[in-house]
Amino acid sequence: AIRALAGFRRVALAPGERRRVEFALDARALSFVDAAGRRRVEPGAFTVAVGGGQPGRAGLYASAAEGVIGRLEVTGEPFEIP
């Protein structure tokens, strides 16, 4: 998959309101299923998008008001998730 939903939380904000929202991404959230049907995690860079809509429609997010884009680097040896 090019994109996958790894977490979801609905947060209602009043105009101008700010709030910190935290998510923990575990190994399964960063895994994929290989050609042999095994769920695996491999080192590499991931783009993480947080926002009020689906990223990728008109580029990723155009402004911080619509969403935030970040990078996450996974290091170490590949491993299989049972």
For residue 76, the 8-state DSSP code is S
User: How far apart, in whole angstroms, are the C-alpha atoms of residue 44 and residue 51?
Assistant: 23
The total of other beta-carbon atoms located within 10 Å of residue 34's CB is 12
User: How far apart, in whole angstroms, are the C-alpha atoms of residue 52 and residue 11?
Assistant: 10
User: How far apart, in whole angstroms, are the C-alpha atoms of residue 81 and residue 40?
Assistant: 6
What integer is the mean pLDDT of 48-74? 65
pLDDT > 90: percent of the chain:
13
Q: What is the pLDDT of residues 20-34, one digit of tens each?
A: 888 888 888 889 899
**Is the pLDDT score of 61 beyond 50?**
no
